[in-house]
Amino acid sequence: MEPNDPPAGPATDRPGQKRTRRTAIAVVSLIALDAAAISYHHALQVVRLVGNTGNWAFLPPLLPDGLIALSSMALYEAARSGAPRPRWATVGVILGCLVTLALNVAAGWPFGAGGALVSALAPVVLGISLEVLGGILRRGRRGPTAASAAGECEHRPAMTLAEAVRAAAEYQTHRQLAGNFGISKTTVGRYLAEEPPAGTDFLPPGDPVPAGLNGSGSHV
């Protein structure tokens, strides 16, 4: 996780983006609840193993999970609003996941490498899920591109009639061109004989041609 991401631009939702975010939030929430229950159980085992008994034993396991929850909410709000990641919230998530990972591994260690690996799944999956969710939110809040922000048009310039005729000539006969563009065959020939200006390759080979320019439309 990088604590100092550059601020994002205004929100620009694309089709289906809200649904993706809501689904991601729901999935990460389920993972977080599952991981919290597993991690709390394993941390409680470790706390009792080191001699803490009674009601006091239920309190220490809440600390790393609480730190992760609080820091995650701060990171979520920052990503949702397009603000840079809060430094201490990032540190809190990393520290909380590391402490939880250590407690889980310690709880599974008496059962061998397999037990330690299974116990370590919860904090690892939770940490990765939080980072994935943050990435989805940040990408959804990116503003316009540099070109559009600077007032530059990102689209190709409009074709002249001669350029359109030359672009469609690969797909139509002279008669079709004349009928579709409403010009004479002599004018079509003159346009095709002209050398196209540099940088006007608007329709490279393989690009689709609109109906009416490829012979599929009505023509005289």
Closest by alpha carbon to 172, among 211, 145, 118?
211
Asked if residue 156 has pLDDT above 70, the reply is: no
Provide the residue ranges of all domains of the chain, joining segments of one domain with +.
17-144, 158-220
pLDDT tens digits, one per residue of 170-196: 878 888 888 888 888 888 888 888 876
Q: Is the model's pLDDT at 140 over the cut of 80? A: no
* Res. 126 pLDDT band, cuts 50 70 90: confident
- pTM of the predicted structure, to 2 decimals: 0.53
- Write out the two tokens for 173: 């006969």
Q: Could you tell me if 131 and 1 are in contact, meaning their C-beta atoms sit under 8 angstroms apart?
A: yes
- Higher per-residue pLDDT: 165 or 89: 89
Residue matched to tokens 């995650």: 72
Task: Tell me: pLDDT of 120 over 70.
Answer: yes
Residue 153 has pLDDT above 60, yes or no: no
What CA dihedral angle connects 49, 52, 56 and 59, to 10 degrees? Answer: -40
Alpha-carbon separation of residue 43 from 62, 80, 117, 128, 181 (angstroms): 9, 32, 15, 20, 77
pLDDT at 3 over 70: no
Share of the chain above pLDDT 90, in %: 12
Work out the mean pLDDT of the chain and round it to a whole number: 76
Amino acid at 60: P
Asked whether the predicted pLDDT for residue 63 surpasses 60, the reply is: yes
